[in-house]
Amino acid sequence: VPHEKELETQEKNTHNQIINEQHESERIQVQQDKEEEKQRSEEDLEQREHLHEEEREGEHLQEEIRDQQKKKQEQQEEEHEDSIKQGKEQEQQQQQQHQQHENAAKNSEEPAKNETAVGTNATASTDDSDGSTSAVSHTTSPLLLLLVVCAAAAAVVAA
């Protein structure tokens, strides 16, 4: 009978040992699961933080791009305004030069004017030897105008 009790005790010990090993195995599995979950959670958190950081960087880059575009647009507007100013200045200079040329032309014509020719575009009629009349247009110098007037007078005298 002692041998049976010993076997029974051994059996109980073995059974308890198996149960303890199962419990230990389950405890280890639960602990591993918790560690894996914790690691996944940390990785998720890092990933979210990384995404947020990338979003902030993206927003910062977009802001920089907007600033650069705004500066470029302002520079283009400034260049356009400068171009308009230069165009107006050139036009004004051309008008002044034109006015100076007109004034110079008027001043050079004034001493040569007489009763038969007024202004720069005078027309004189002459009678040719065949009796026809031809018109001479004057757009050049006052000396040429004087020559035309003299020729007209000579033609009248000759007729």
Q: What is the pLDDT along the chain (159 residues), one digit of tens a residue?
A: 778 888 889 999 999 999 999 999 999 999 999 999 999 999 999 999 999 999 999 999 999 999 999 999 999 999 999 999 999 999 999 999 888 888 877 776 655 554 444 444 545 555 555 555 555 544 557 777 788 888 888 888 887
In a shared domain, residues 99 and 135: no
In a shared domain, residues 98 and 139: no
In a shared domain, residues 35 and 91: yes
In a shared domain, residues 101 and 141: no
In a shared domain, residues 123 and 60: no
In a shared domain, residues 102 and 156: no
Q: pTM for the whole thing?
A: 0.37
- Distance of alpha carbon 4 from alpha carbon 23, whole angstroms: 28
The answer to whether 126 touches 155, Cβ cutoff 8 Å, is yes
Query: What pLDDT was estimated at residue 107?
Result: 72
The answer to whether 113 touches 149, Cβ cutoff 8 Å, is no
Instruction: Take residue 137 and report the two structure tokens written for it.
Output: 């247009």
- Distance of alpha carbon 25 from alpha carbon 66, whole angstroms: 60
The answer to whether 144 touches 109, Cβ cutoff 8 Å, is no
Q: How many CA atoms lie within 13 A of 32 on its CB side?
A: 6
Query: What pLDDT was estimated at residue 130?
Result: 57
- Distance of alpha carbon 32 from alpha carbon 40, whole angstroms: 12
Specify the 3-state DSSP secondary structure of 115. coil
Query: What pLDDT was estimated at residue 132?
Result: 54
DSSP tag of 117:
B
In a shared domain, residues 96 and 26: yes
Query: What pLDDT was estimated at residue 138?
Result: 44
In a shared domain, residues 56 and 69: yes
In a shared domain, residues 104 and 49: yes
Query: What pLDDT was estimated at residue 133?
Result: 54
| Domains contained in the chain, number | 2
In a shared domain, residues 104 and 66: yes
Q: Note down the domain range covering 124.
A: 116-159
Separate counts of helices (H) and strands (E) for the chain: 2, 2
